Structure 1
Amino acid sequence: MREEEIIEKLQRLGLTKYESLAYITLLKLGPSKATDITKESGIPHTRVYDVLSSLHRKGFVDVMQGSPRLYKPVNPEVVLEKIKEDFIEDIENLKKAFLELYREVHGEDLPEVWTIQGFDNTVERAEYVIRTAKHEVLINTPLEFLKLLKGDIRARKDIIFVIITNVGEEIPDWLRADNILLARTGGAPWLMASWVIGDIDYALFFGALPRDKRREKFYSFWAKSPKIIQNYMHWFYTIYFDNSEVVKPLNYEALPKPLSLVNIRTLITVLKYVKLPKKIEVVGRLVDTKEPVTIEGEVVDYEYTPLTANITVRSDGKELKVGGIGSYFEDVEGEKFILLE
């Protein structure tokens, strides 16, 4: 990266141009006198002490007292990690503040589904789903779009991916990771829509990919509602996944345990490739009373049809039927499934 680009990015993080120049100069020189920094960077001598004092207050520079006084750059990883933490905290606080402002006027939650305009904005939302997921991401999309998400998919080794795409006979290396279950699309259902779903928190869906002239007129839809997303997950499996061919299963034994999932059909899809029984912890609610419950036991069986998905958990000598969110006929409505081995 060119120095001009680095300075521009530091300015976006809140540094002035002179502060950016001074910090870059210190990284080059190491602990230095103010006069050396002036000579190397071109910062006017009348400004350099104010600039270095400001960098010290912002945490970019340590001051080494003595004669002459030396200025030492703080490790960039330490500085940037602190900025990242502060930035994330500020964003979370802003999200809460904006939601409170909205509710003061409208007296309700934000809408559950939004329209996203512009192809680039759609790509950014898809990347956001992958970056923020805590347990699993479900993706049904052409390989052309999937390639745009390659970097984010590669970076997440700590979640499960279930991916359906029009992959050929040769599977790309970046889709061969242990935590990816890859399926080749089965035909007609493929034509209906693309989906990127993260846990039960966020979902993005859209139709055919745009040609170049229509990128700005492209529309997608963004949902943030567990009630809606659980239906999307159901459609993802029963319409798309169940009509596709698995070409690369998970490497379950290589995955770190415990392994947490939030969708009952994802759990059963994983269990199809392992030997039962498997130790599990289920966090959820009793269907009859809605009372919170945590069950630890062994998965001894499962049932999977277009209409039904549940597991049988043996715990303390009893067998309980555990379904997903919105269960009616099971004993337990599971909200989180933690495979322990």
Structure 2
Amino acid sequence: MKEDEIIEKLQKLGLTKYESLAYITLLKLGPSKATEVTKESGIPHTRVYDVLSSLHRKGFVDVMQGSPRLYKPVNPEVVLEKIKEDFIEDIENLKVAFLDLYREVHGEDLPEIWTIQGFDNTVERAEYVIRTAKHEVLINTPFEFLGLIKNEIRSRKDIIFVIISNFEEVPNWLKGDNVILARTGGAPWLMASWIIGDLNYALFFGALPKDKRREKFYSFWAKSPKIIQNYMHWFYTIYFDNSELIKPLNYGSLPKPLSLVNIRTLITVLKFTELPRKAEIAGRLVDTKEPVTLDGEIVSYEYTPLTANVTVRAGGREWKVGGIGSYFEDVEGEKFILLG
């Protein structure tokens, strides 16, 4: 990265241009006198002491007392990690503050579905879904849109992707071991696109816009496990199950343990391996809603448009485990961890 780019990024973190120059200079020189910083950086002598004092207050510089006084740069990893922690804390505090403000006015929590205006904003939200997912991402969209988010897809090797599109051929960036691809079966998929990340976020929109309508484009953004669970069900039963599998999962090459949150994704993954399969499942007993963890083996599964569950042998008995909202099974599964 060029020095001008580093200075620009430091300014985004709250440093002035002179402060950025002084810190970079100290990183080059090591502990130095103010006059040396002035000579190397070009910062006016009349300003350099104020600049170094400000850097000290902000945690970028340590002052070594003596004659002459020396200024030492704080390790970049230390100072940047502290900025990161403070930034994350500020964001979390703002979230709480915004929710409190909303409740004061409306007397209720924020709505679970929002409207997003503008196609570029929709692309950014799709990238965010992929970037923040911890377990799995389900995508049903035209290949044209996949191309717009390919960098995010390509960068995530630690989650499972299930992707449906109008593929003609499979590009290299979609050939990862963690990717399952299906070629759309036709009709309904043209009318809607889905990008679903775990049970945390889901993005839904219709046909891609023409250039003149990009700013008037609308998509829908959901943040509700119950709603997203329904979206996941529709994703599999309406789209994936009616499409042609063209690239399987390479289960044997994936790092273990492998965590998933949707029962149909779990069963889809199990279809690419052999049973029994060691697993740990966290959830709640359907009858009492008490938390339960099953540590055992998945020995079979059932998968139909109406039913999806696995049979787990654990604790000397067999348990039927479904997904969120289960009522026929023994356990409502919330997290599924394949151990090997």
Indicate whether the TM-score tops 0.5: yes
Q: Which runs of 5+ in 2 are unaligned?
A: none
Taking only the aligned residue pairs, the percentage that are identical comes to 86
Q: Which residue of structure 2 lines up, in the alignment, with residue 107 of structure 1?
A: 107
3-state secondary structure, aligned to 2:287? coil
**Aligned-residue RMSD, C-alpha:** 1.8
Does the CA contact (< 8 Å) of 2:142 and 2:190 recur in 1?
no
3-state secondary structure, aligned to 2:249? coil
Q: Which residue of structure 2 lines up, in the alignment, with residue 157 of structure 1?
A: 157
Greater alpha carbon shift after TM alignment, 313-322 vs 232-241: 313-322
Does the CA contact (< 8 Å) of 2:319 and 2:330 recur in 1?
yes
Greater alpha carbon shift after TM alignment, 157-166 vs 108-117: 157-166
CA deviation string 1:16-49 (max 9, x = no partner): 1211221233334444321122123222212111
Q: Which residue of structure 2 lines up, in the alignment, with residue 319 of structure 1?
A: 318
3-state secondary structure, aligned to 2:245? strand
Q: Which runs of 5+ in 1 are unaligned?
A: none
Structure-2-length-normalised TM-score: 0.94
Q: Which residue of structure 1 lines up, in the alignment, with residue 50 of structure 2?
A: 50
Q: Which residue of structure 2 lines up, in the alignment, with residue 87 of structure 1?
A: 87
Asked if residue 215 in structure 1 is aligned to residue 209 in structure 2, the reply is: no
Asked if residue 122 in structure 1 is aligned to residue 122 in structure 2, the reply is: yes
Q: Which residue of structure 1 lines up, in the alignment, with residue 239 of structure 2?
A: 240
CA distance in 2, matches of 1:75, 1:34: 19
Asked if residue 333 in structure 1 is aligned to residue 323 in structure 2, the reply is: no
Q: Which residue of structure 1 lines up, in the alignment, with residue 60 of structure 2?
A: 60
Residue 3 of structure 1: how far off its partner (Å): 4.2
CA deviation string 1:77-104 (max 9, x = no partner): 4333332222122111211121122122
Asked if residue 229 in structure 1 is aligned to residue 228 in structure 2, the reply is: yes
Residue 274 of structure 1: how far off its partner (Å): 0.4
CA distance in 2, matches of 1:146, 1:53: 49
CA distance in 1, matches of 2:183, 2:263: 22
Residue 2 of structure 1: how far off its partner (Å): 5.1
Greater alpha carbon shift after TM alignment, 315-324 vs 199-208: 315-324
Give the 3 Å change call, closer, same or farther, for CA 209–74 of structure 1 in structure 2: farther
Greater alpha carbon shift after TM alignment, 199-208 vs 84-93: 84-93
Runs of 4+ in 1 over 6 A off after TM superposition: none
CA distance in 1, matches of 2:67, 2:177: 57
Residue correspondences, number: 340
Greater alpha carbon shift after TM alignment, 324-333 vs 101-110: 101-110
3-state secondary structure, aligned to 2:173? helix
- AA at the equivalent of 2:61: V
Residue 9 of structure 1: how far off its partner (Å): 2.6
CA distance in 2, matches of 1:134, 1:3: 34
3-state secondary structure, aligned to 1:97? helix
Q: Which residue of structure 2 lines up, in the alignment, with residue 167 of structure 1?
A: 167
Residue 4 of structure 1: how far off its partner (Å): 4.1
Greater alpha carbon shift after TM alignment, 55-64 vs 327-336: 55-64
3-state secondary structure, aligned to 1:116? strand
CA distance in 2, matches of 1:80, 1:248: 41
3-state secondary structure, aligned to 1:158? coil
- AA at the equivalent of 2:118: G
3-state secondary structure, aligned to 1:137? strand
